[in-house]
Amino acid sequence: MRKWVRKYGVYIIAVAAGAAITPAAIRTATLQRGYKAIGGEYLIIPLAVLIVYLVQEVKQTVTRIMKEE
């Protein structure tokens, strides 16, 4: 269980943060547009997960490069 939490915990936090921010973003976008539509505000959660993934990949790559030197 610890390995699972260590591996996926950051993703869970990213999804939770995105889920907390998304409703406010949808309300704000609807007020700015003046009508209900689907836009980029619905991509907050996938974007948060993508950012976590990219940060982890860069971290692993830098660690691997530093070990090779």
Whether residue 69 has pLDDT greater than 90: no
> What is residue 2's predicted lDDT score, i.e. its pLDDT?
80
pLDDT in tens, 10-52: 999 999 999 999 999 999 999 999 999 999 999 999 999 999 9
State the pLDDT confidence band at 68, using cuts at 50, 70 and 90: confident
As a whole number of angstroms, the distance between CA 26 and CA 45 comes to 12
Count of alpha carbons within 13 angstroms of residue 59, beta-carbon side: 6
